Amino acid sequence: MNLHDNLIKTRQVVSTFVEDVLVDGTELGIISFSDSADMIVPMTKITDDASRQNVATKLPSKCEGATDIGSALLKSLEVLERQSTQPSDTFIVVITDGSDTTGSNMNNVVETVIEAGAVVSIIALSNGDNRGLEQLAILTGGRYYFSSFSTISALEALLDIYTLLDVEQSHSPVLIISQREFLEKSESLKGSFLLDSSLGYNTRISITYTTDKPPDGIIVSPSGRRYCSIYPEYYNDPVLRRVKFTIPALAEVGLWSYQVTNTDNSSDDVFFVVTSSSRYKDIPPLKFSGSIMVDNSTWPLLSFIVAEVIQGNQPLRNLKVKALVNRPMADPIEIELFDNGIGADIVKNDGIYSRYFTSFTISGRYSAVVEMSDKRGDMIMTGSLDGHYQVAKAYAGSVHIEHVKLPSLDTSSILVDDFPPMRITDLRVLQTSQAEGMIVLAWTAPGDDADHDRASYYNILMSHTADTLIDAMDLPIIDSKLVIQGKLDSPQPFGMREKIVLKMETYKNKNESFVFAVFAVDDSGNKGRTSNLVTVGFGYAPDVVTQEYLNDLMSDRHPDTKVAPADQKVAIASVVGLAAGLLVVTIIGTFIVHYAALRRAKQKEREFSEAKNMNTVTVGSGV
């Protein structure tokens, strides 16, 4: 794709962000830069559609080859100073497709930006990867986004940055769907999206294209109302190459369908985007966020993915959360995240879903997007419809992972499995019987590589004192003959409960204590760390019978009986999706979004990554 096409794609994304995402009251300015930086739009308050279109029409229409990122950052600080705006209350977003090639000394510029307290986030739009720019984002407390076809779109990155701002506005737009497709002549993109009962205000459907002729777009509401080019809701901007449908009043609740057909003789690169806002002012919006984290200094690498879902100040529980991880030189991999207090997840049912990531390929950039949806039967969704439910998305970040033990592109080395099963942390005693010498133990299966798949077998350690288990060089493993129920050589998949019944050689009237621990071993011989310790005292204390053991007895005797879940079910009005999926490439400008009456973002995640080149910066302020 040439520079002109890159510029068009970037203009499409920025104009969509300005016209369909930013809330009224936002102040926006545009700084265009190549070998120098110039303010082409002064700080302008967004108050209505006319002010949005005025800003969009002034986006850069041509691009130069040079890239002086330093001058753009300094110009941004200068603009904020003239506005009497504290840089420490500001987010600066830089969008670019190349490395800094000329002009200001970046080391000095970075020091100036850090001293001013401005937060700089960077959206890199190219096939390369510039770690210097990533470091700039990290040092200033911002985020780094690597936008390519296989990772994240620039619009998704802008939306993610927007959610970091503490915007307490009920009508902040939610991105319902974002889809990209390459269409040959007469080929169509078809699909559907759900508007539940909480959405419908200011609903807009945008279709961007790259051909001379606009695609034919048909939108059908749940009642069968058709929207197409002959109706007033349709608008085509031939300069931006964007078709837009603005749904009047409140959009219908239900399942909408769409069809986009390429009408040009050449192939088309199409993006389909739907945004909508809450129809109720008193319902707080749902917020979705994610992170991918790694410590490059350890081996095996310690890496995990985290997603958080809240509505107002309340966490949302019992969701199904998946992460799609893009990896270098390999297909993306999908993993499920859990809020079960096991493995990478620290606290159960706190609305934070986590999972270790161990599926590394080579040294390079890894990025993740998380998807969240309701689990039917576990979560009551009064806003959902029969047969359909809303899927929410959030960008979880991008990180450059590099380690001497990871293969690289120029080597033929093979990645060896050095990842052991995770440590078991919930070993517990369910029941004891001194008369029978019986002890029932339970724990949660740890998996193979950290918390993935299943281990190869377990070893149970037993001693009469805790010191022996803690200090012994050769740990005392029990004889498998003592196991009368359960199988140590057939572990369950990660997250499932394991139960083992032991029959100890003991005497009825003798006081005796037993201390147990357990660890898992994978098929490569990697041993997990020893679990927590549990103690059984025959004669020193009465026999133990836990409620968990009684529940097991009830289930065994009455298989059809459903035991009440330990966690209370959660009822919410609706679940709405927020995220994106657009791909844009190149911009030569800087647009600044800052919020005057807004606090600085509550969270500014610092991630380990690389960085890229930029030609667009965003600074702004809002109410």
Do residues 556 and 496 touch, judged by C-beta distance below 8 A? no
Q: Decide if pLDDT at 596 tops 90.
A: no
Predicted local distance difference test score (pLDDT) of residue 276 = 84
**CA gap 397, 591 in Å, rounded:** 22
Do residues 121 and 611 touch, judged by C-beta distance below 8 A? no
Predicted local distance difference test score (pLDDT) of residue 64 = 67
Beta-bridge partner residues of 567: none
> What mean pLDDT do residues 42-60 have?
84
In which band, very low, low, confident or very high, does the pLDDT at 271 lie, cut at 50, 70 and 90?
A: confident
In which band, very low, low, confident or very high, does the pLDDT at 589 lie, cut at 50, 70 and 90?
A: very low
The CATH architecture of the domain made up of 1-167 is: 3-Layer(aba) Sandwich (3.40)
Q: Long-range CB contacts (< 8 A, 24+ apart) of 236-241? A: 238/214, 240/8, 240/11, 240/12, 240/15, 240/56, 240/208, 241/8, 241/12, 241/208, 241/209, 241/210, 241/211, 241/214
- Say which CATH superfamily domain 428-548 falls into: Immunoglobulins (2.60.40.10)
CATH 2.60.40.10 positions along the chain are: 286-401, 428-548
In which band, very low, low, confident or very high, does the pLDDT at 392 lie, cut at 50, 70 and 90?
A: low
The pLDDT mean for the chain works out to 74
- First-to-last CA distance in the chain? 38
Q: Decide if pLDDT at 411 tops 70.
A: no
> What mean pLDDT do residues 413-436 have?
83
> What mean pLDDT do residues 247-268 have?
92
In which band, very low, low, confident or very high, does the pLDDT at 575 lie, cut at 50, 70 and 90?
A: very low
Q: Decide if pLDDT at 45 tops 80.
A: yes
In which band, very low, low, confident or very high, does the pLDDT at 285 lie, cut at 50, 70 and 90?
A: low
Predicted local distance difference test score (pLDDT) of residue 80 = 80
Q: Decide if pLDDT at 225 tops 70.
A: yes
> What mean pLDDT do residues 1-23 have?
74
Can you tell me which residue has the tokens 């032991």?
502
Predicted local distance difference test score (pLDDT) of residue 529 = 87
In which band, very low, low, confident or very high, does the pLDDT at 191 lie, cut at 50, 70 and 90?
A: confident
CATH 3.40.50.410 positions along the chain are: 1-167
Q: Decide if pLDDT at 382 tops 90.
A: no
Most confident of the following: 28-37, 311-320, 570-579:
28-37
Predicted local distance difference test score (pLDDT) of residue 468 = 74
Q: Decide if pLDDT at 494 tops 60.
A: yes
Which 3 state secondary structure label does DSSP give 244? strand
Higher pLDDT, 236 or 299: 236
pLDDT digits (tens, 9 = 90+) for 103-132: 566 777 888 888 888 888 888 776 555 667
Selected from 3.90.1150.10, 3.40.50.880, 3.40.50.720, 2.60.40.10, the CATH number assigned to the domain covering 286-401 reads 2.60.40.10
Q: Which two tokens stand for residue 13?
A: 């994304």
| pTM for the full predicted model | 0.59
The 3 state secondary structure assigned to 458-508 is EEEEEECCHHHHHHCCCCCECCHHHEEECCCCCCCCCCCEEEEEEECCCCC
Q: Which of 103-117, 213-227, 423-437 has the lowest mean pLDDT?
A: 103-117
Predicted local distance difference test score (pLDDT) of residue 584 = 24
Most confident of the following: 175-189, 337-351, 372-386, 598-612:
175-189
**CA gap 440, 548 in Å, rounded:** 11
Predicted local distance difference test score (pLDDT) of residue 610 = 32
Picking from 591, 587, 589, 592, the residue whose alpha carbon sits closest to that of residue 32 is: 589
